[in-house]
Chains A and B, each alone.
Chain A
């Protein structure tokens, strides 16, 4: 009981000392008033507001650019997919063409059969048609 009372009394003393210390950290009022009355304080504030406005405007324009870019992302993705599909189809075509060439070279026992195979597998390419025409003209 006595111990508790003593602790409480010490706490109260510490609290009082603490609050006096907190008050002691404050700047004297006259000094604070002199800060408020400092010349050009408003001019400095105005300059700060203008700087902050510029900063915000720059930030906004950057944000607007980001938004435009963000909106362009789906379109760019679509273009990329289209380009990829185009690339893939041309690669497949090239592979099929090479198959045709090898088939033409290796499996040519009979031209009739060969033609049938050509029709089933792949149509003639424009290069081949042109080559045929040139050959025909040359033969004439």
Chain B
């Protein structure tokens, strides 16, 4: 076969895309002081952490605060991640984010000006209407009234109850997954979930 390439020139081959560094590699490089490695970890997981924080809080500032706090905690605990040989950085950072949300819920609960404002008569009537309505007819998620009302109702729960309910209902996690994320025992998660549901029923009953 004739070689058509001119002498002195090399056939320009498209450089093969470098394989993405593994998370463990990025963690090691971060621990060695490479800032870009931590930025890469942040870029890979920030969306997940923001979504997770968004399950608990609706204010942008709160969600951003959770994202920043979670990654700051992660940065200073990278040695723990390396030593514990965690399965994945994703589940590790998710656990940190859950803990940060839990801490924030507790902080909000301690504040006297927490959102324990009264449920209005209009909201109470709407709630009763929703209870009686067929599930398919409900339009809770799109109703403007719901968000404020839901905040008011959930503010009456303990942080532990709220954490478990959000993990179960909004995040769709199993009991085993919650136990792994919170480091609680499976039986404790079950008991807590049962109590949380009962507490929410009591809160709803009060306004019906």
Q: Write the residues of chain A forming the contact surface with B, with a CB cutoff of 8 angstroms.
A: 11, 13-29, 31-33, 35-38, 41-42, 44-46, 48-49, 52, 56
Contact = CB atoms under 8 A, between A and B. Distances in A.
The 6 closest A-B pairs by CB, nearest first: A27-B54, A32-B54, A36-B50, A18-B200, A22-B169, A19-B169
A32 B68 contact: no
B201 A26 contact: no
Contacts of B170: 22-23, 25-26
A interface SS class: helix
B51 A32 contact: yes
22 contacts: A11-B201, A14-B131, A16-B135, A17-B138, A19-B165, A21-B204, A22-B200, A23-B141, A23-B169, A23-B170, A24-B143, A25-B154, A26-B54, A27-B57, A28-B54, A33-B50, A35-B50, A35-B63, A35-B64, A36-B46, A41-B46, A45-B72
A12 to B, nearest CB: 10
B124 interface: no
B50 A20 contact: no
A49 B154 CA distance: 32
Given A24-B143, A45-B67, 20 more contacts: A14-B200, A16-B135, A17-B140, A19-B168, A23-B170, A26-B55, A26-B56, A27-B57, A27-B58, A27-B63, A35-B64, A36-B47, A37-B47, A41-B64, A41-B67, A41-B68, A42-B39, A45-B68, A49-B75, A56-B76
A14 B201 contact: yes
A25 B135 contact: no
Contacts of A14: 131, 200-201, 204-205
A56 to B, nearest CB: 8
Contacts of A28: 54
Interface in B141-176: 141, 143, 146-147, 149-151, 153-154, 165-166, 168-170
Number of chain B interface residues as a range: 35 or more
A89 B42 CA distance: 70
Question: Which residue of A18, A20, A25, A42 has the most chain B CB atoms within 10 A of its CB atom?
Answer: A25
Contact of A21 (B39, B68, B140): B140
Nearest to A29: B51
A21 B153 contact: yes
A135 to B, nearest CB: 81
A20 B141 contact: yes
A18 B201 contact: yes
Interface of B: 35, 39, 42-43, 46-47, 49-51, 53-58, 60, 63-64, 67-68, 71-72, 75-76, 127, 130-131, 135, 138, 140-141, 143, 146-147, 149-151, 153-154, 165-166, 168-170, 197, 200-201, 204-205
Contacts of B56: 25-26
Given A14-B201, A23-B141, A29-B54, A48 B72 contact: yes
A23 B154 CA distance: 11
A31 to B, nearest CB: 7
Contacts of A21: 140, 146, 149-150, 153-154, 200, 204
B110 to A, nearest CB: 20
